[in-house]
A and B are shown apart, each in its own frame.
Chain A
């Protein structure tokens, strides 16, 4: 188990190092003129050059990268070129918003996927067919379109939930839940559909296995058979889909945060990339990759617990 964990952790570190290196080089080569962005349209070329030197952007890329890495290893992710804010502070302030959306969406997707997937697999017939059709729509509908429809219906017309913005849970817990309702719904629909269909297929497949027939012949209660034997064995497939969807949801959060104007790291990533705020983009990328690595690690552990054969692979 320890070796298994160490291998997965090692792979995660390699992924992190590779990603931040590639992103830094790409950002630097894109030559996005952040000095021009800071100084505005009226600045002269001399002012722009002076600002570049002030920010250290006149140094060769390897030197800039080395400085960033040395800082990051000390836990200093630098200061935003644009807002002078500490990158670590800005990123952590906003990570809570994105994590709220993505983690709640994952939990909601997981729970609803189990309910719908198991229902389809057990009931079969028209219920199964209906759920499959709904799932195809759920997977096919673009998240941003779902978001806009939800806003039009539930925020603009019915005024049940806010159309934009985020409320911190320490300010107002119900307000927080209310501000997350539509974004979570928009981002979860595809996830629920995908995971539910995976679970359904896995359960139907398992239902035909020898050991299940044996268990049935031993008059094990159907509920115990379903929950202990079938669901546990079918869960890894759904968990794999959910772990992939976590990555998808992080990307989806970028779009959803823009539409709902939520102050998350997705919106921060978009604005800092557009303005060439390299330290801020690097902070966001570091955090996002770390989150992906951690979630994948947790799911690997869950898989290993559900199915001990995994550990030996």
Chain B
């Protein structure tokens, strides 16, 4: 064989191999006909031990394998799951849960009250991200096989919603203390983990649990969740047909629309300056409510929204989201952009020459342009900003321990109580100076000791008080973006970045 012939046959072999490989790649694409759901999640799961998992996007990994006590629907309704009924006593300090009968974990162990007791106490006592959600729990008692009582040291308005998330996830008692819980989940969920086709931190494959008690929640034969932390990778994956649905960000909307993908949006995150030092301990100026109001007037939320977020959102002056009980529509316009008014307020407070403040530089997370714009707008009214850049976890630590008087933050808007627990309670993580006043204390007490309409009214009064006292200078609420292709129907989960696994179904 001559050299030329050998080269030719080599080239043919390469082309043939390429075609075989490309053909193979085409076949590995997703398809509704096999009832497989393949989605990408933007966050990495630390493991299947619920006590180590932060509630939020990560719930999606746990939902296939574990049931929760209560389920929260896409309409924000709390409906039965492992608990069929729940009731508080009159003092709102004892919650009684009636449990579902005839449910078994996938290791064959029967689900009962003792399993709930073990799970809740373990989550409370493990120093994990969920411990704070159960801080008010004094005791969990199995009254009988199907009844559990949770005794609280004080009413906890967040408990029922918490029990519909990671906190209420129930692991088989036999697996709770096993060394392999992080990699081998044992629950009673609609699916079981297919370990052979799972690589921790990359791909999780779940196959239907044939004995599941509610077939309406198990609509697929297989679910594959890929961990894709990079938004470009998620976009490429959905555009190339590797996945059927995923979360992206506002800048990807145009590309998604032009690729024929279905774009779902809902108002999700709020972005603003959290003024921690309301007593003026570090920056005396911020102890004056007029100065904090001046900060609110100085920021042009509309302009930030239109230039940095393609106008996809609503400028606002309140912390709470539209889905929450605390929302008051009028408060969105409480502090319109008015730099002259800001200067007047600063002058009235004795700061006509302005003052200096140091901000943690989170521009790596929230964007350089946002930091540049906010710094410029504050400086325009005389508030001189110094940005301090440290490694991100250090900066978070310093912020949480009261190292900064003020910080820019962008965070999802959950239930009214979740926002209160994050920003308002004296022990809240985003209240490092433990601010409170008589009005806040009495409204918090009213929220804790009431329900339904009375509680909503107290939440709204608290919202009005916080806006008036300018605890926070919110800029805008912005759209969260979720994409899906035509093979899947998905309902967004309000107050969450990614939908629950139950919100997906094959397209008809």
Contact = CB atoms under 8 A, between A and B. Distances in A.
B116 to A, nearest CB: 23
Contact of A44 (B197, B237, B427): B427
A259 interface: yes
Contact of B129 (A39, A263, A268): A39
A163 B393 contact: no
A259 B25 contact: no
Contact of A156 (B236, B393, B421): B236
8 contacts: A41-B422, A50-B127, A151-B240, A156-B239, A159-B25, A160-B26, A178-B21, A260-B233
Interface stretch (A13-21, A164-172, A300-308): A164-172
A47 to B, nearest CB: 6
B152 interface: no
B60 interface: no
Contacts of A161: 21-22, 25
A258 B230 contact: yes
Nearest to A31: B394
Nearest to A54: B127
Contacts of A160: 18, 21-22, 25-26
A54 B401 CA distance: 20
A158 B233 CA distance: 17
Interface stretch (A4-12, A81-89, A122-130, A240-248): A81-89
B414 to A, nearest CB: 11
B242 A162 contact: yes
A90 B201 CA distance: 10
A41 B128 CA distance: 12
Contacts of B242: 162-165
B44 interface: yes
A93 interface: yes
A83 B237 contact: no
Interface of B: 17-18, 20-22, 24-26, 28-29, 44, 46-47, 49, 52, 54, 127-129, 131-132, 182-183, 197, 199-203, 226-230, 232-233, 236-237, 239-242, 391-394, 396-397, 400-401, 411, 421-422, 427-430, 432
A195 B421 CA distance: 60
B393 A275 contact: yes
Given A42-B129, A165-B226, A259-B233, A181 B393 contact: no
A274 B44 CA distance: 13
A163 B239 CA distance: 9
Counting chain A CB atoms within 10 Å of each CB, the highest count among B197, B199, B227 belongs to: B199
Interface in A244-289: 258-261, 263, 268, 271, 274-276
Given A54-B127, A165-B203, A41 B21 contact: no
Contact of B429 (A42, A82, A93): A42
A181 B128 contact: no
B54 A40 contact: yes
A30 B391 CA distance: 7
Nearest to B26: A159
B127 A84 contact: no
Nearest to B24: A174
Interface in A128-169: 148, 151-152, 155-156, 158-168
Given A42-B132, A85-B182, A178-B21, A276 B393 contact: yes
Given A164-B242, A178-B21, A271 B229 contact: yes
Nearest to B432: A45
A48 B229 CA distance: 25
Nearest to B227: A261
A28 interface: no
A212 interface: no
A298 interface: no
A207 interface: no
Contacts of A311: none
A44 B132 contact: yes
Interface of A: 30-34, 36-45, 47-48, 50-51, 54, 82-85, 90, 93, 148, 151-152, 155-156, 158-168, 171-172, 174-175, 177-178, 181, 258-261, 263, 268, 271, 274-276
Nearest to B392: A274
A83 B201 contact: yes
Contacts of B49: 84
A83 B236 contact: no
Contacts of B44: 271
A30 B236 CA distance: 34
A16 to B, nearest CB: 26
Given A44-B427, A171-B197, A181 B46 contact: no
A175 B24 CA distance: 7
A181 B26 CA distance: 14
A101 to B, nearest CB: 15
A178 B24 CA distance: 8
Contacts of B17: 177
B197 A42 contact: no
A259 B131 CA distance: 35
Given A31-B391, A43-B429, A172-B28, 19 more contacts: A30-B391, A33-B394, A36-B397, A38-B46, A42-B421, A43-B129, A44-B429, A47-B131, A51-B127, A82-B46, A84-B52, A159-B25, A159-B29, A159-B241, A161-B21, A164-B233, A175-B24, A259-B230, A261-B202
B202 A166 contact: yes
Contacts of A31: 391, 394
Contacts of A47: 127, 131-132
Nearest to B49: A84
Contacts of A158: 22
Give 10 nearest A-B pairs by CB, closest first.
A160-B22, A263-B202, A33-B393, A163-B236, A40-B129, A163-B240, A33-B397, A40-B54, A261-B233, A178-B21
B125 to A, nearest CB: 12
B199 A263 contact: yes
Nearest to B238: A163
Given A30-B391, A34-B393, A93-B199, A164 B25 contact: no
A310 B394 CA distance: 50
Nearest to B133: A42
A178 B228 contact: no
Contacts of B131: 43, 47
B25 A178 contact: yes
A144 B369 CA distance: 24
A40 to B, nearest CB: 4
Contacts of B392: 274
Nearest to B44: A271
A152 to B, nearest CB: 8
A267 B203 CA distance: 14
A50 B234 CA distance: 36
A193 to B, nearest CB: 20
Contacts of B203: 165, 263
Nearest to B232: A259
Contacts of B430: 41
Nearest to A84: B182
